[in-house]
Structure formats: structure tokens, C-alpha cells
Structure 1
């Protein structure tokens, strides 16, 4: 029976080859007739082959230029051609400093590490959505947790700290997804990708209908018609889920917080949650014929939408309520900035961490302003003290406010203008900083940066864990830990 199966496969391959030839003849009848006539003339009039070579060269040139200069190149293009690039839509950024450094605010910062971009750690900043939309999305994510996490997690522990981390990760993923959706050029996607795929699918269905008479076998005939072009996810439900898992792993660097993939347990958990409970149901819903027809009716219908009967809901921070910690017990590993500054060894570790991140000057600014405030808030200041304080203001302005400074920290424009006015004015005006709010707001901004960005980063850093393990460190353990 083996040779019968092999013979059947060879026959099927030959039939497919004949089908390809027939399809080419159907699409290019003039060219096929010309090639057939030239081939017959070459065989019958072989003594005039040198004359027929002129015609063969002409046909070869036409085919070559068609393949290389056509709108969709059939062969690698070896000629220089100008390709049309669709104009990028100038959409407003969701964040005022969306691609800027969290420290200096520059778009292409070369001093600080790329991981200090605000969008890499807090993509939900300034992202406001209607409260009803936020509540609906929160309800969906809560159902995901209730159906896929809590049934087995509550059998292990009642501590919500791990689920809180998962909530923060899901909020990060959803925020990144919203930001990227706003950057998509919808008309280009529809015209360049969706329409081509739809026309290809319609063509395949039309061919499949010609081959089968019973509508029950239409789906299988369509899958066979795709042949090797059939997407791997369409082979079976298992292959589809496996494909989505691999796709999720490839998306990890873009949808998860930095360094989160180093936590193997979190990466595995997200890899199982997103494909099985988010991506797969979403794809099933979008692929449903009723959904497709409903979307087509929405796009085609040009009638004006119905007037809203309810007032517009207020704008709220994106998934803020969903991501609020449920765990009431404070983490023993969590640190506050005050605790770090009160312990000399911990402060030394924190400064080493800031040096690695290229942001030690953030802490230096905080300390410099504290020292400056202690001096300027004295009741009576002599001229010598005023001159010294004025020089200190000039140093702060040149070091932390000028654009050309490598230690620049991003402040609101009015803060920079007020500090500049005092720094460039007479030294007697330095006493105005006792009542002006610019320096105090700059200090609050930097303090918030240290508490909300760098302190949580430090609590997840190697420097902090070295501090925790200092009593159990040995040369062998240290070398292994460093590796």
C-alpha cells in the first residue's frame, strides 16, 4: 500500500503543477500565446534561430522589466526605484514627554540609560479615558483573574501581593497597547493589508466552491486550496494556541516592564494568561461572521449616529482603580527614601545604583537644594552670605537647568525662568527665593522622581539584594552572585 500512496502523492503534485500552469495561462493569455508561437517557430525553423533570437531577447526584456518594475515585484529588484512611503500621521502624543528621558527630558538622551524613559516604566501617565470605558475594561480583566488566577491561587495563599504585581503588569500591557494603537495608520492597514488578505480569501473560496458541490465540505476544500500558504495557526486549535504563545514571548520586550522577563515565573504566567484568555477569545470574536458583517455595516453606513441620551462620563486615569493594591500588609522588602537616607550603608548602595543608572546627580540636586534652603531661611543675611547664596543659585542653574548641561533635569518652564531670573540678576534678589515657589517645586519634582521611580527600581536591583545578603556573603557566593 505504500507505493500506492506514493504514486497518489506524485499524481497529486503533478495535478497541482498543471493547476498552476493553467492559472498562469488564465492570467497572462497574450504572453503565453506569444511564448507558444515562438517555441513552435524555434523548433520548426531552427535554421533561422539567429533571427528568432531577436524576438526571444525582446520577450525576455519585456518579462524582466515587468517583474522588476511592477507595483509588486515578482523578482528581486536590482534597479534603483523610488518607492512611495505613506506619510506618517502626526498624531498627538499620549504623553507630553512620551519619548523623552525621565531625568533631563531630552528626546534622544545619550547620557542616561534608555531604561529611564518615562514611557518604559509608567506608560499610563496622562492617559485619560471615560470612566465607563475604564470600568468595562477593568471588569474584563477582573474576570480574567477570577477565572484563571484565583481558582488555584487561593488554594495556596490569601496574600494578594503576587496578584497585585500581576495587576500592575496587566495595566502596563494595556497602556502600551493603547499607545501603540493610537500610532497605527488605520487607512494604510486597511488598504495595504486587510484588503489584500480579504481578496485572497475571496479568491480561494471561489475556487473551493468550484471543486465541491456540497457546502459541508467547503471549509476543508478552502484549507486545501491554500496549500503551503495556509497559516500555521489555522492547522488546528492546538497549533493556534502554540502560535499565540510564541507570539506573546516575542512581544514581551514591548508589552512588559523592563527587566520583568528576567522573572521566569511571571513570564510563564503572562505567557499562559494572554494567549488563552485574552488573545484567543478576541480572535474568535473578531473572526465570527456576525462580527465581521456588523463591522462592515458600521463602516459602510453613512447615516449620522444617534444622539447620546446620557451625559458624557468623566475622564479618569487609565486602569488606576484596577491596579490599586489589594494587599493590606506592607512588604518587608519595600523601602522609603527616608529609610535609605537614614542608613549610611544603604545610602552608599543607593548611590552606587544611581551611578549605574547615570542619575546620581538627581540625588545631588536634592541634597544641594536642602543645604541651600537651610542657609537662605535664616532671619538675617549679610551681604557676604547673599553673594555666596547667589553663586550657589548660579551653580544650580548652570548645572541642572541649562540644555547643554550633561546633568540637566527636566523642570517646568516657569521654574527654569524664575531660577534664571534670580541667577542672572543682582545678588540682592536672592532673598526673594525665601518666598518664591520655583525652587520648592523643583525640589518636590526631584523628590517625587527619587521616591516614585528610582526607589522602586533600587528595591529590585542587585545592589539592594547584596545589602540584604551581606551577612551571608562569602567569596564563593559573591562570585556566583556576580556571575
Structure 2
């Protein structure tokens, strides 16, 4: 009986087209509500049917009018046309490694790099380590902070290189300085005591007084808001999604970087010293030591110092061993527009397995040469959408092999260009995209930890039974 009843319900649903009615309700909610209300009113208040006919006539007129002037047809159409919502198509983003590694091709003198590293290390020693060491001795979190600070410093250096200093000085600083001198001159005319000059100058500014000058607290709040506004430009992509990390970085930058810099620049001795440097024509003293060598910006500072293997961290080799994690990782790279980075590694690995054979036939060399051509066109040409930026010397060597004769492909057995390109791309995957993947929604560490926990519980149960 129950089975017959279910079959009858399914047949009734198909006959009434419940799905179509539901879609009509979503597309025309007001009209369906009025229609249902009128039907119920007509059934329950059938005595007043002659009055309800007025509302039925009005509803029929509205429907007829709407269908008559519909954009699809000039003829009246009393049937509702259900339009499926078009799916939004979004183009896949292209990979810009500069967004993830602003320190690429950014080199400074080693002494300058050491000085900046020392300053940033002092920031961590004074602001992070005093409370962090009481919690744990694991350096993984601090290592991530170092990478974030390196990102921030690299962005500042790159943006500072684009600043036209003479234009800033002549167009902004001089105007502000002249305005300030004018305010001070007016304030001096109003007060006799030098001790009251500062307060008089602040009152002279009136409504033009900057909000950060009202009090120390207002200055700190202003710098916090300013830092939050700068986050999309000075932090790695998606770094602000972690609210706790964003708050910590905000407090570090505000209290240990921006506020001391503002105090230093506002010091009269500093201002006078900068003015003297600006107007002094005396040539600088000759250097007594040779210039230090160029090094990658803050590379040594950002090196990992954590010797312990974190339980919540996945390595690239572990991801590649598990098909489920590899599938999730490829989906993540596809969202980031970087799936071709992993594809390059897989292609080069497959190519190396073939090229390292002791004896290659003529047909095999031709096939390998075609693969080198494809690698060069896909990952080295500027017009390719999957281009990966390599060192020019690496690109030049691959280009020579790709544009040469097919027999030259054997040279790749001893040439380091493909190996160096592979190591470069592998470091990008390990140092950039693997940590991002571990922090993304694609990773479900609970599932990874589920199997060991089940195994341990089973072992414990067996031990209890044996005892």
C-alpha cells in the first residue's frame, strides 16, 4: 500500500509539475502570493464571490497587460516563460609572480640588507617574542611573520623606486612647509610667551588641523586605520583573510614601525638635519671601503628557522603522493591561475625520464626535440599566457636547443638549464603555493588526521581486550 501511495504521489507531482510551480514562485513571488491569496479567499468566502470578482478582474487585467507589452513578443502571451538564470562565466586569472614575490630581481647591498634585517629582527624581539615564547618555542608562526615583513618591505622599496623625489619635494613638501611657516608666524604675533606658541599654532590651524595632531591616542587610531587601508597593497594576497594575523601585523606596523618613524621625522633636530643635507653643496667624503656585494633583498632574513616538523603543515611531496590532496591542490592552483606551474614540473620530470636514457634513437631525439619546442613556446615566450619568468640565461639556453637541430637535444643531458628552471618552479610551489594551499578551504586536515586517530583507537581497544 505504501509503495502504491508513493507511486501515486510521484505521478501527481509529475502531473502538476511541482518543479515548474516552484520556479514560478521564485521568479514571480508577489504575483503568486496574490494568486494564492485570492484562491483561498474565494474558497473560504464564497458568499462574497461577487465582490471578489473585482479583484480577479483586476489581476487578470494586470497579467494581460504585462504579457502584452513583454519585450519578447508583441502578441499577448498568457503563459509564463521561465527563464533560467544565466551562469556567470569568469575568465581564469593569469599568474603574476610579482604579486606573490615582490622581491624578485630586487637586490641591495649586503650591508644595507643586514641593517634592515637587524631593524626587523628588533621589531620581533620587542613586540612578538616577549609573549610568544611564553606560549611555545615553535618558530613556524614567526617564520611566516618574517615572510610577511619581507613582502611588506619589498613593496615599500619598489614603490619608493617609482617616486619622483624632486616632484614630491617641490610640489608637496615645500607647499606644506610654507603653510606651516605662515601659521607659526601668525601664532607668534598673538602670543608673547614662547611656551604658548605650540597651542597657539594648533588653534591657528582651526578646522584644517590634521586629526592625528589632536592627541597621541588619535594619532595611534589614525595610523591603525591607515595601516588597514594599506593592507591590500602591502600584504600578500589573501593574507587579510586571517583576522588574527591581520590584527597582529597592524599592531606591529603601527606601534613599532609607523609611529616611531613619525616621531623621528617630527623631531626638530631631524628636520634641521635634513634641511642642512638638502641645501649643503659639499661633496660627500670618499669611501674608505669597497662597496659590499649585491644580495637578494632580505632573503637571509626570511629563511625558515623552524627545525620542527609542524603537524598542520603539508609538504609538496606529501601532496603529490595522495591523489585526493593532489586533486585539491590542482583545483586550488586553477583558482589562483597557477596550474601551469605544477604542469611545468610534471612535464620536465617526464622529459628528464626520457632524455636520461643511455642510447637514444633518431625518432626518440626528434620526439624529444618537439617536446623542448613545446616547453619553450608554452613557458618561455613572452606572448604565452602560461609564461613563467626564468633567468634570461636559462631561457637563452632552452631557446638555442629548441631552435637548433633535433640532434642538439642530447646536450640537455649535461646542460643545467632545465634543472635550474625546474628547481626555480619547484621552489615557487613549495614556498608560495603550498603554504597558501594549507591555509585555504581546499585543505581538510581533519580527514588527513582521521585515519591515524582511528588506528590508534583500534590499537588501544585491542590492548584493553588483551589485558
Asked if Structure 1 and Structure 2 have the same fold, meaning a TM-score greater than 0.5 normalized by the shorter chain, the answer is yes
Q: CA deviation at 1:447?
A: 3.0
Q: CA deviation at 1:191?
A: 0.8
Q: Which has the larger radius of gyration?
A: 2
Counterpart in the other structure of 2:60: none
Q: Pick from 382, 385, 394 the counterpart of residue 406 of structure 1.
A: 385
Q: Are 2:215 and 1:236 equivalent residues in the alignment?
A: yes
Counterpart in the other structure of 2:297: 318
Encode CA deviations 1:111-147: one digit per residue, 9 max, x unaligned: 8636x42332222333333333333333333332233
> 2: CA distance between counterparts of 1:313 and 1:193?
35
Q: CA deviation at 1:370?
A: 2.5
Q: How does 1:37-76 map to 2 (within 5 A)?
A: none
Distance change in 2, residues 1:391/1:334 (3 Å): same
Distance change in 2, residues 1:341/1:427 (3 Å): same
Encode CA deviations 1:287-319: one digit per residue, 9 max, x unaligned: 111111111111111112223334434444333
Q: Pick from 158, 168, 181 the counterpart of residue 189 of structure 1.
A: 168
Encode CA deviations 1:54-96: one digit per residue, 9 max, x unaligned: xxxxxxxxxxxxxxxxxxxxxxxxxxxxxxxxxxxxxxxxxxx
Q: Are 2:101 and 1:130 equivalent residues in the alignment?
A: no
Distance change in 2, residues 1:205/1:462 (3 Å): same
Q: Pick from 144, 150, 153 the counterpart of residue 165 of structure 1.
A: 144
Q: How many residues are treated as equivalent by the alignment? A: 362
Counterpart in the other structure of 2:93: 113
Counterpart in the other structure of 1:458: 437
Kept in 2, the 8 Å contact 1:386–1:428? The answer is yes
In structure 2, the gaps of 5 or more residues are: 1-89, 452-467
In structure 1, the gaps of 5 or more residues are: 1-109, 473-483
Superposed CA RMSD in Å reads 2.8
Kept in 2, the 8 Å contact 1:349–1:467? The answer is no
> 2: CA distance between counterparts of 1:151 and 1:422?
56
Distance change in 2, residues 1:414/1:339 (3 Å): same
Q: Are 2:316 and 1:337 equivalent residues in the alignment?
A: yes
Counterpart in the other structure of 2:343: 364
Segment drifting more, 322-331 vs 262-271 = 322-331
Kept in 1, the 8 Å contact 2:92–2:335? The answer is no
Kept in 1, the 8 Å contact 2:319–2:329? The answer is yes
Partner SS state of residue 284, structure 2: coil
Counterpart in the other structure of 1:276: 255
Q: CA deviation at 1:218?
A: 1.4
> 2: CA distance between counterparts of 1:289 and 1:415?
52
Kept in 2, the 8 Å contact 1:111–1:406? The answer is no
> 2: CA distance between counterparts of 1:469 and 1:253?
32
Distance change in 2, residues 1:172/1:362 (3 Å): closer
Counterpart in the other structure of 2:277: 298
Counterpart in the other structure of 2:157: 178
Kept in 2, the 8 Å contact 1:362–1:409? The answer is yes
Encode CA deviations 1:410-459: one digit per residue, 9 max, x unaligned: 44455555545554555455444444444444433433333333323322
Segment drifting more, 375-384 vs 279-288 = 375-384
Q: CA deviation at 1:189?
A: 0.8
Distance change in 2, residues 1:213/1:395 (3 Å): closer
Q: Pick from 87, 100, 119 the counterpart of residue 140 of structure 1.
A: 119
Segment drifting more, 277-286 vs 187-196 = 277-286
Counterpart in the other structure of 2:325: 346
Distance change in 2, residues 1:359/1:326 (3 Å): closer
Distance change in 2, residues 1:431/1:344 (3 Å): same
Q: CA deviation at 1:154?
A: 2.6
Counterpart in the other structure of 1:149: 128
Partner SS state of residue 187, structure 2: helix
Counterpart in the other structure of 2:235: 256
> 1: CA distance between counterparts of 2:377 and 2:443?
33
TM-score when normalising by structure 2: 0.69
> 2: CA distance between counterparts of 1:432 and 1:145?
49
Segment drifting more, 389-398 vs 188-197 = 389-398
Distance change in 2, residues 1:380/1:125 (3 Å): closer
> 1: CA distance between counterparts of 2:383 and 2:142?
44
Q: Pick from 219, 236, 240 the counterpart of residue 198 of structure 2.
A: 219
> 1: CA distance between counterparts of 2:300 and 2:416?
32
Partner SS state of residue 464, structure 1: coil
Kept in 2, the 8 Å contact 1:111–1:358? The answer is no
Counterpart in the other structure of 1:287: 266
Kept in 2, the 8 Å contact 1:144–1:277? The answer is yes
> 2: CA distance between counterparts of 1:410 and 1:313?
27
> 2: CA distance between counterparts of 1:293 and 1:281?
18
> 2: CA distance between counterparts of 1:427 and 1:171?
44
